[in-house]
């Protein structure tokens, strides 16, 4: 704990998608580790409530209304970071949206919508903060998904977007090393969040039943602690949840078993959204 604290204390960290889920939990975890946070999301009411909940730590937090699909919003967020804290040391590109449905049920517009946030939003975040990371020799953290290694029925749009994030991470890791920038890919399995309660129009439905098996869902707070350790260590990739890593392992080394399990579980836990 003390080692983590010493490495992250006073680091300026930008988190996109900080209003819920992993981003929200990371904000709490990193604030308690002494970081100075720039929290970006579209729902500033939630960001304000989050900042208020941090009490005395809130003086090290600034919030920014930001849609990651807007270059102007991202540039403004980085400028607000400069005004409040200085250059950014760590960028956590976390903002993402869900999309469920079989190929025949979705439209090209559905795919474009998710790619705009989950792929181009990540790239836009990286471009906006790149000069800062070059100057600080910082860390770029990309929140991917175990879905970047596998695509089950009804998840093609989301999985495709996360496949792209992983591809970017693998290339950018070598490209940015010349500047002393570390690239860390985080690949979570099922984390407790609102994602599985949001329809394809982006509307949150608290009445939805989370279709993920409850025994596989990790609390966001626990995931945030593991991600904080991964950022400190600066490794290439960190799998979050044991089932996430096991799913990856089975897909890589026992593909015949993987596809049998996909067919079995998808018929029982497939979400039904439109």
Cross-strand bridge partners of residue 96:
none
Alpha-carbon distance of 228 to 40, in angstroms, equals 18
- Which one of 149, 158, 248, 258 is the catalytic residue? 158
Give catalytic status of residue 127 as yes or no: no
SS3 track for 20-46: CHHHHHHHHHHHHCCCEEEEEECCHHH
Q: Are 197 and 210 in contact (CB under 8 A)?
A: yes
Alpha-carbon distance of 244 to 168, in angstroms, equals 20
Q: Are 13 and 30 in contact (CB under 8 A)?
A: yes
Percent helix, strand, coil in the chain, to 5, is 55, 15, 30
| Residues taking part in catalysis | 158
């Amino acid at each position: 704990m003390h080692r983590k604290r010493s490495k992250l204390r006073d680091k300026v960290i930008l988190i996109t998608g900080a209003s819920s889920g992993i981003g929200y939990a990371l904000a709490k975890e990193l604030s308690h580790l002494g970081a100075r946070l720039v929290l970006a999301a579209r729902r500033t009411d939630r960001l304000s409530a989050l900042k208020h909940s941090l009490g005395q730590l809130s003086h090290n937090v600034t919030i920014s209304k930001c849609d990651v699909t807007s270059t102007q919003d991202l540039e403004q967020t980085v400028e607000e970071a400069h005004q409040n804290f200085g250059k950014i040391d760590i960028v956590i590109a976390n903002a993402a949206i869900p999309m469920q449905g079989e190929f025949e049920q979705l439209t090209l517009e559905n795919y474009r919508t998710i790619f705009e946030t989950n792929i181009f939003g990540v790239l836009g975040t990286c471009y906006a903060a790149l000069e800062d990371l070059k100057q600080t020799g910082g860390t770029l953290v990309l929140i991917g998904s175990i879905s970047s290694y596998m695509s089950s029925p009804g998840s093609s749009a989301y999985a495709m977007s996360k496949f792209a994030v992983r591809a970017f991470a693998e290339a950018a890791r070598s490209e940015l090393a010349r500047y002393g920038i570390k690239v860390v890919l985080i690949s979570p399995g099922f984390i407790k969040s609102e994602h599985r309660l949001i329809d394809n129009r982006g509307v949150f439905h608290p009445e939805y039943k989370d279709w993920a098996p409850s025994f596989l869902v990790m609390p966001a707070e626990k995931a945030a602690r593991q991600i904080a350790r991964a950022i400190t260590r600066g490794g290439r990739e960190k799998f979050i949840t044991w089932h996430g890593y096991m799913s990856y392992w089975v897909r890589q080394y026992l593909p015949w078993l993987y596809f049998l399990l996909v067919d079995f579980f998808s018929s029982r836990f497939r979400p039904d959204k439109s």
